[in-house]
Amino acid sequence: MTKQEDIQELLNAANYFEQQSAGYKSWGKVEVLQIAVRLKSGKIFVTDKNKKLNELKNSDVYIADTKSIFHTIFSKRKDIQTILFTKQEYASQVSEEIPPILDDQAQLLGVSVKIAKNEQNIPCALKGRFAAILKDGNSICVGNNLEEAYVAAQLLEKTSKAFVEAAHLGGAKSINRIEAWLMHQFYKLKYSKEAKKNK
């Protein structure tokens, strides 16, 4: 892709999210606040966090500062190319680590969903995981591409809803953590093989 094509993909993201959200309505509301993508060149494009996605223009997409949280995350995670900062209805209500309570959660998101106490703690909270909840109520979701990161965001919301609602009934029953880890490893292995086939 050319630089302009990469920028255009980010500008089109709002439409993509709107089209996809219809299939996830029962899970809760997910709003993407900011997107960061790593290009093949190693540069990181980021959208302006002060602008709504459907209002973005070319000038609202910029190259991330080398000292930014995006550079820190990407440097520690060679397996991802996209980062989404999100505001979510149910995830924003969670203030403690979510254990593995759903099969699809364990497969894509990882063994658990951690709470990042501050920005410096985000890479640690994301280690071996595809989502984390931030102390300010927002969330961060990652993926190999825009589609996978968005599915991770929606799955985080589904998981958070189950966790919050189960709390009123005595708490959710956790999957065995070793089984959850194996599910996640299987997903990553299967996905990486499919990705190579599609190249």
CA distance 181 to 127: 13
Least confident of 5-19, 32-46, 50-64, 87-101: 5-19
What is the pLDDT at residue 60?
Answer: 94
Higher pLDDT, 19 or 2: 19
Domain limits at 127? Answer: 3-197
What is the pLDDT at residue 40?
Answer: 85
pTM, two decimals, is: 0.89
Q: Domain of 166: which CATH number?
A: 3.40.225.10
What is the pLDDT at residue 51?
Answer: 93
Confidence of residue 9 (pLDDT cuts 50, 70, 90): confident
Mean per-residue pLDDT, 157-181: 87
Burial of 196 (0-12, 13-18, 19+ CB in 10 A): exposed
What is the pLDDT at residue 163?
Answer: 96
pLDDT at 196 over 70: no
Q: What does the pLDDT look like over 51-109, one tens digit per residue?
A: 999 999 999 999 999 899 999 999 999 999 999 999 999 999 999 999 999 999 999 99
Average pLDDT, the chain: 90
Q: How far is CA 103 from CA 29, 72, 99, 180, 191, in A?
A: 21, 29, 11, 8, 16
Under DSSP, the state recorded for 66 is: T
As for how many domains the chain has, the answer is 1
Higher pLDDT, 176 or 139: 139
CA distance 133 to 115: 5
Burial of 16 (0-12, 13-18, 19+ CB in 10 A): middle
Q: What angle do CA 33, 103, 93 make, to 5 degrees?
A: 40
What is the pLDDT at residue 198?
Answer: 54
